[in-house]
Every structure is written in structure tokens, then in C-alpha cells.
Homo-oligomer: A and B are copies of this chain.
Amino acid sequence: MDEAPTQSNEYSSSPEGAASTIASKNIVSERNRRKNLNDKLLELRGAVPRISKLDKASTIKDAIDYIQDLQEQERNLQAEIMELESESLKKDPGFDFEEELPILLRSKKSRCDQIYDHRVPMSHPIRVHELRVNSVGENTLFVSLTCSKDGDAMIKICDIFESMKLKIITANVAIVSGMVMKTVLIEADMGERDNLKIKIERAISAVSDHWST
């Protein structure tokens, strides 16, 4: 690939003038490339507030450290925001409407989570029309569930997804012409997402009346 300049190919087959032409073209091209790269590197250094040295290598290293710092700070800030949100939600003794909106994760909440461990109150089962569990990207699972909206099907579906301890990224419920559609994005790396897929399918099939598994 890039090793061992085994032999210098003379390459004098071209007429005399051509070689110098292409050579100079290559020279100016390479010069431009270097210039561009150095400019980019300088711009990168301008974007990083903390700089150890003015080396090229140090510039890159500082940028890496800074990026990792920013990523960690972002995680901390988001965790803090979640903390604040749930905290301001907490004091509401009158109405607990939020139990029907399991949008964000944060399952450290309270009880009434493991209702669906084994049994589901099978008052009347859900009529599942479609269930899709697809892998999206590297560590994301996309779940799309459509069923008829009879009785408390909607609440049941939400409860099912809450009973499993999923790392939910986003969740959405929609009603379209008498159909309940739930769309969930779940964080799951390659190792666990196959298991999760089966787990979700089984959880749904456990509360549906006809779902050939």
C-alpha cells in the first residue's frame, strides 16, 4: 500500500516536456493540499479553548480531549435537566396524569411498574395488526406497533413498554381512524437488541389475541 519504494520507475516513456508538466501540476496540487490541511488544523486550534502547545500533534490531542470533555459535560447537563424536570413534576398530590405518558425513560420512579411481570389483566386482549422491530443504525431499535383501539388498548400498550426496562429514546402514540399506533426508539447495542426484539415480540403477543409467534 504505502511502503517500500521498491524501485524507482524511470518512466521516461513520455516525451521530454510532459514529465515536467505533470510534475509541476502535482507539485502545485500537493502544495494546495498541504495549505488547506494546515488551515484546517489552525481552524481546529481556534475552536479549542485550551491549548497545551502549538504542535500539530498537540493541537489534535487537545481537540480530542476537549471533545471528550464536552461530551461528558453534555451528559451531565442532560442528567441534571432530567433531575430537575422529574423533581418539579414530583409535587403534585392531586392528579397523576403522567402515568399514562411514559415518554421519557427514568424508570427509577415508584411502584406499579412490575404489574406485567407474568400476567396481564386479560379483560379483553389487544388486536394487534402489525408489529415491526427493526434495527436502526448501530445501537438503536425501532419498534412500530399498530392495533385496534378498543377498550384500554392504548393504556395497555403503554404499560407494556413501561414494564420492560427499556432504554427508550423516544416514544409516540397516535390514533388514526380507530387505530392505535405506537412508535418507540430504544437504545440497544448489537449484543442485546436481538434479545430485546424477541422480548418485545413476546410481550406483545402475550396480550394479543391472535399473534402468530
List chain A positions with a Cβ less than 8 A from chain B: 33, 36-37, 40-41, 43-44, 47-48, 56-57, 60-61, 63-64, 66-68, 70-71, 73-74, 77-78, 80-81, 84-85, 87-89, 91-95, 97, 100-101, 103, 130, 137, 142, 144, 146, 154, 158, 170, 172-179, 181, 183
CA distance in complex: A103, B132 (Å): 12
**What is the oligomeric copy number?**
2
Q: Which residues of B contact A95 (CB under 8 A)?
A: 91-94, 97
Which of B33, B37, B146 contacts A101 (CB under 8 A)?
Answer: B146
Q: Can you list 8 residue pairs at the A/B interface with Cβ under 8 Å?
A: A44-B60, A66-B67, A84-B84, A87-B88, A88-B100, A91-B93, A101-B179, A173-B176
Given A173-B181, A175-B175, 13 other A-B residues pairs in contact with their CB atoms under 8 A: A37-B57, A40-B64, A48-B67, A70-B70, A70-B74, A74-B77, A80-B81, A88-B100, A95-B97, A100-B176, A170-B183, A174-B174, A174-B183
**Which 6 pairs of residues, A with B, have the shortest CB-CB distance?**
A174-B174, A70-B70, A77-B77, A40-B60, A88-B100, A84-B84
